[in-house]
Amino acid sequence: MADWQQIAGGVTAPKGYRAAGIAAGLKPSGAPDLALILSEVDAIAAGVFTTSHVRAACVDYCRQRLQAKHTARAILCNAGQANAATGAQGWADAVESAELVARELGIAPELVLVASTGVIGQRIKMDELRAGVPRLVAAASADGSDAAAQAIITTDLVTKSIALETTLDHRPVRIGGICKGSGMIHPNMATLLAFVTCDAAVAPHLWQQMVSRAADKSFNQITVDGDTSTNDSLIALANGESRTPAITEPGPEADKLEAALTEVCMHLAKSIARDGEGATCLLEVRVSGTADDAAARQIARTIAGSALFKSAVFGRDPNWGRIAAAAGRAGVPFEQENLMVRLGEFLLMENGQPLPFDRAAASNYMKQAAAGEYLKSDTVLVSVSVGNGPGTGMAWGCDLSYDYVKINAEYTT
């Protein structure tokens, strides 16, 4: 059984955090567009950022900051302008954004991290930001997570939030998270942003390792259209306010915290895949039998990202050939004689050869699963095994529908 329970409160569920979200006039629509997450005390901060060589100023800023100092007090996020491809001025804007928040809070600027999402090539509307920050800081409260979650989205259809409680040394510890992202729905509103808060006390290097591993199993395993943004960021704070014993080295307590952290990240990641542009269902791919977990994740990601298989899922077509072909080209060596493919409960392929199966029933499973009528889940499940190795991995995606093309072709910049 899972060693945690889901609770309300998002990023303000853990002790010692406040959050806020306001409409500061950055989005042309007038929707909320400025979010803040605050820790009452200095928190250990870890981050995982886009690997793209075309990066937003905020990504370079946070990377430099976290390399120099492992603590932070605040995360400022603006929506509307991505502040990517904006050159030296974009960098200056990122620096000033952090300074504005720091001044208002009376803390050092290097304790403020920044994130942006919106149109590439556009600077942040600094006049609106300058006017908004005092109001944003004043609005920060212990139940402000939903407002923050609302202010970081762009074209997402829904906000995404989660919080879990587990125990360390028999005392409650909480982890919360919010995120945004729905595939690169608008041309350049691509960004996946995720912010995680935790009230455990963890050593900086250990926290960064946990966050990196959790990202590898969650955000790095979702694919809507294979496109990666200039602004993708995961920032995670751990402020120690739970007053549980500090975790300073690997061991059972560290494992327990990492498991809960990973669960938070997986929940957020799946919520992004489910909100993929034009998606009608969530697709979960489980792979086993590889030499290590990384290889299994790679195969899972390739299957979940195959345009052909995604189209088949949209058509509710139990197409084992597309699953096998995607597994084969994932770049992970395996003997095709060991390939097993299962769709829900249906065994489609074993020992590398197709099996007879009830095609109508398998298609019906996909219809039911996509409609959320199969075991109360809206997830189409694919399981693949490629051998006897100990590696396992999962990935999530969504189906490829007419609406994906419609959304992306008909938007005119």
Among 19, 94, 114, 119, binds a second copy (CB under 8 A): 119
User: Does residue 235 belong to the site contacting a second copy (CB under 8 A)?
Assistant: no
Catalytic hit among 117, 191, 197, 230: 191
Closer to a second copy by Cβ: residue 47 or 118: 118
User: Does residue 364 belong to the site contacting a second copy (CB under 8 A)?
Assistant: no
CA distance 108 to 232: 25
User: Does residue 332 belong to the site contacting a second copy (CB under 8 A)?
Assistant: yes
Among 48, 198, 324, 382, binds a second copy (CB under 8 A): 324
- Angle (CA) 199-204-210 rounded to 5° is 75
CA distance 260 to 168: 11
Provide the token pair at 183.
């595939």
Among 10, 240, 318, 393, binds a second copy (CB under 8 A): 318
Closer to a second copy by Cβ: residue 23 or 85: 85
Residue range at the interface with a second copy (CB under 8 A); choices 26-34, 72-80, 304-312, 376-384: 304-312
Closer to a second copy by Cβ: residue 119 or 382: 119
Residue range at the interface with a second copy (CB under 8 A); choices 46-54, 98-106, 150-158, 201-209: 46-54
CB of residue 206 to a second copy, shortest distance in Å? 29
CA distance 361 to 358: 5
Q: What DSSP string describes 219-277?
A: GGGEESSS---SS-EEEEEE--TT-PPPB-SSSHHHHHHHHHHHHHHHHHHHHHHHT-T
Total residues contacting a second copy by CB under 8 A comes to: 69
CA distance 308 to 305: 9
User: Torsion over CA of 272, 275, 276 and 278, rounded to 10 degrees?
Assistant: 180
Distances from the Cα of 214 to the Cα of 217, 221, 264, 359, angstroms: 5, 10, 9, 37
Which secondary-structure segment (H or E) carries 286?
A: strand 282-289
191 is catalytic: yes
Closer to a second copy by Cβ: residue 134 or 226: 226
Q: How many residues are listed for the chain in this entry?
A: 413
Nearest to 344 by CA among 373, 386, 307: 373
Residues 146-205 that bind a second copy (CB under 8 A): 184, 187-188, 190
Q: Which residues bind a second copy (CB under 8 A)?
A: 50-55, 85-87, 119-121, 184, 187-188, 190, 225-230, 305-308, 311-312, 314-315, 317-322, 324-330, 332-337, 339, 349, 351-354, 359, 363, 400-402, 404-406, 408-413
Q: Which residues are catalytic?
A: 191
